[in-house]
Structure 1
Amino acid sequence: MTPPQKRTQRRDTSLTTERIITAALQISDADPNLERLTVRRLAAELNVGTMTLYSYFRSKEDILDGMADHVLGRMQLPSEPDSGPAEALRTVGHAFLSIMRDHPSVVRLFASRITDSRTALRGAMEAVLQRLVDSGIPGPQAVQCYGFLITYAIGFASYQTPRPWGRLTNDEGTEQLRQRSHFYAGLPIEEFPQVVNLADEVAELPYDSTFDAGLEAYIDATVRTLAPRS
């Protein structure tokens, strides 16, 4: 009689750290509550056992660090050098806004924890500071600029995310804007005279032009401090 073959547990070769982090980002980008990203929920999304994930990441904290690595560590800045401080500030500001909008979970990561990930620090801090310094901004002031740009992008992305018509250029965006403007215009004018009279402008607050206006004002003010004094 042939003895039964011994069963061996094999690691799912289709599962990778990259696939796990991608799934975690998909869940957290779609869900405004980062607490609902659990190891159990992530395992179910990947159709694997919970303990399987622990062979890749020791804890949820490690997964969150992996998410920061994935997004912040891959922050993209143009390869061409900037023509000066103004262009560098503009480049960095838009790069920050881009990653915040592509991955809303990053906004919540910044709001809930401090990452010690070297990959994230290299991509979204060291590279940015170097960019600003290379453009002619002194180091201490470059740090201040970094602080403003990242918090400004976080704030605007947080405001724009639940107001998607600010980014949509199709018929859906036009209709959402019309409905919001109609809502503001329909408020009691004796209680909200400014909002009613400026309904169209208020409805357009989530537009990228609002972000650009604030960014350009900051750039102008910063560049003036760098101008040589006679």
Structure 2
Amino acid sequence: MAEQTQGGTLPAAGREADVRPPLTYDRIIRTAIALIEREGVAALSMRRVGGELGVAAMSLYNHVPSKEAMLDGVAEEILSGLRLDAGPQAGWRDRIRDLAHAFRRTAQEHPRSMSVVLSRSMDWTRSLPVLEQMLTIAEQAGFQGETAVRVMRTFMAYVMGTLMREASTADALWHIAQDGVRAAEMVDPAAFPHVVATARELLDPDFDADFDFGLELLITAIERLPRTAG
């Protein structure tokens, strides 16, 4: 229905254009994240995101130069959303646990978008907030320079690697569940006695407990490292 104005009748389409939020980089990235979570990263394209926003795909190029740049933006946005509960006054052990669980919580909240983070070679500048956090924790634990960097890299390798393993394990277990009888028949108990003996634990993992178990092993190993003099 048309709207009467002093200058005449304003078409409904014109009113919608007036109230539509402006197209911005942040809106594009948030829309891309929502699309990925709903349909998977394979569904992402400039055209699809433009359609979600009600604009032509060409309009997006004024803000994002390519699909690859959009994926970089998704990864950056996911990393920037890490929620840390432990403040700077907390001990380094609590802070490293907090940072690890912040990664995992984000992965659980945005599983498909976290897969973008895990699969992309990130421009190092996008990771600066996380790097700064981890290096600060390493310094608080008594490490400097090269050792601090190695502690940081080991931490990142554990967290990222564990998240990737959880995703692949969950997918593999889903396929096994679809054909459980055939999968069981393929395992020779004489050749793989330990696999058969622990089949229940292998096929029904507690990812939360596994993550905490590995994290505590890592913290214990860090505790035993010699501190940098001075």
TM-score calculated relative to the size of structure 1: 0.71
Residue 210 of structure 1: how far off its partner (Å): 1.0
The runs of 5 or more residues in structure 2 that have no matched partner are 1-9
What residue number does 1:19 align with?
27
Q: Does 1:73 align with 2:80?
A: yes
Q: Which residue of 2 aligns with 1:109?
A: 117
1:31-42 correspondence to structure 2 within 5 Å: 34=41, 36-42=43-49
Paired position in structure 2 for 1:171: none
* Aligned alpha-carbon RMSD (Å): 3.6
C-alpha deviation, 1:14, in angstroms:
5.3
Contact residue 75 and residue 99 of structure 1 kept, 8 A:
yes
2:92 aligned with 1:85: yes
Distance 1:227 1:132 in 2: 10
Q: Is the 8 A contact 1:23 1:42 kept in 2?
A: yes
CA apart distance, 1:39:
0.9
Higher-RCO chain (CA-CA 8 Å, sequence separation at least 6): 1
* Greater Cα offset, 216-225 or 15-24: 15-24
Q: 1:151 to 1:26 in 2, by over 3 A?
A: farther
Q: In the alignment, does 2:28 pair up with 1:28?
A: no
> 1:30, CA displacement in angstroms?
5.1
Q: Which residue of 1 aligns with 2:216?
A: 216
In structure 2, what is the equivalent of residue 161 of structure 1?
167
The equivalent position to 2:53 in structure 1, one of 30, 33, 46, is 46
Q: Partner amino acid for 2:66?
A: S
Q: Which amino acid aligns with 1:141?
A: T
Question: Corresponding residue for 1:58?
Answer: 65
Task: Quickly say closer, same or farther: Cα 1:139–1:124, change in 2 above 3 A.
Answer: same
Shift of 1:223: 0.2
8 A contact 2:118–2:164 mirrored in 1? no
Deviations along 1:155-188, whole A, 9 cap, x unmatched? 22122235559xxxxxxxxxx8xx69x7676644
Distance 1:18 1:144 in 2: 34
- Give the Å deviation of 1:79: 4.7
Cα 1:161–1:150 change in 2 (3 A) is same
AA matched with 1:88: R
Q: Where do 1:137-152 residues align within 5 Å?
A: 137-152=143-158
Q: Is the 8 A contact 1:107 1:154 kept in 2?
A: no
Deviation at 1:15, TM superposition (A): 4.0
| 1:80-130 deviation per Cα after TM superposition (whole angstroms, max 9, x unaligned) | 2354333333222222222333334334334332225x4x33322223322
TM-score of the pair, normalised by structure 2:
0.71
Q: Does 1:133 align with 2:139?
A: yes
Contact 1:132 1:142 in 2 (8 A): yes
| Alpha-carbon offset, residue 191 of structure 1 | 4.5
Change (3 A) 1:78 1:137: farther
Cα gap change, 1:152/1:87 in structure 2, threshold over 3 Å: closer, same or farther?
same
Write the letter of the residue equivalent to 1:40. Answer: R
Matches of 2:56 and 2:146 in 1, distance apart? 49
**1:96–1:153 contact (8 Å) kept in structure 2:** yes
Secondary structure at the aligned position of 1:225 is classed as coil
Counterpart of 1:198 in structure 2 is: 198
8 Å Cα contact 1:83/1:135 also seen in 2: no
Instruction: Indicate the structure (1 or 2) with the bigger Cα radius of gyration.
Output: 2
